[in-house]
Amino acid sequence: MDFNSEGEWDNKWPARAIEMGLDPTDAPLTEQGIIQATQAAIKIREKPKKIYTSPFARCAKTAEILASELGIGVEISTDLTEWMNVDWFWACYKHFDRIHFSGNRAYFLLEHPVFPESEDAYDMRAAQTLDALKSMNKTEFPLVIVSHGGGIHRILNHHDSSIMEGKNVGYADVFRIEL
């Protein structure tokens, strides 16, 4: 809802959200997104032990749908947030602590992401998340990560850059990787 048809952040989103009676600081999952989340549960063959999700509303709702379909628990992980890009979040920085970080923890990194966040720092966060996943005990797998397109694609690129060759960030991607 906060991106336009060209896949770019829509700087008119905050005003549109207010007109629609929605929270301009956190775009919800669209009806199509709800359908895609339900379909994603079908693609997950092995029953995961747990789902880790970004605290952003659309990710958390996707994780909630997956958890309901798969009968497993969800952990909100602040280190799986969207890129803390000043161009996208200029209207809602002051809300991140209250909405996303308060009461939630970072599972893969030592701390919450900081904002504003450079693209290099976002890429480093993805690499560190992959390293943390690789260091987990095998008994914690399989698991599901619900995050944002850029974050997932960066993690995959650090794991095996050939996975992402010729692909753009999509809104509803499902990938399976072996660590």
Distance CA 134, CA 12 (A): 40
- Whether 48 maps to a domain, the answer reads yes
At 91 the pLDDT is 59
Tens-place pLDDT, residues 105-155:
999 999 888 888 899 999 999 999 999 999 999 999 999 999 988 888 899
- Whether 178 maps to a domain, the answer reads no
- Whether 121 maps to a domain, the answer reads yes
At 3 the pLDDT is 76
- Whether 118 maps to a domain, the answer reads yes
Which structure tokens are listed for 65?
């749908």
Quickly count helices (H) and strands (E) in the chain: 7, 3
- Whether 53 maps to a domain, the answer reads yes
Which pLDDT band holds residue 167 (cuts at 50, 70, 90)? confident
More confident site: 146 or 10: 146
| Structural domain containing residue 153 | 29-164
Tens-place pLDDT, residues 14-30:
888 889 888 777 888 88
Number of domains into which the chain is organized = 1
Number of Cβ atoms within 10 Å of the Cβ of 98: 10
- Whether 33 maps to a domain, the answer reads yes
Q: Is the dihedral of CA 100, 44, 128, 33 positive or negative?
A: negative
CATH classification at residue 156: 3.40.50.1240
- Whether 62 maps to a domain, the answer reads yes
Q: Is the pLDDT at 57 greater than 80, yes or no?
A: yes
Mean pLDDT value across residues 89-115: 81
At 160 the pLDDT is 92
Is residue 116 reached through a cis peptide bond, with omega within 30 degrees of 0 on the bond before it? yes
- Whether 111 maps to a domain, the answer reads yes
Find all residues with CB under 8 Å of 9, minimum gap 6, and list them.
2, 3, 87, 88
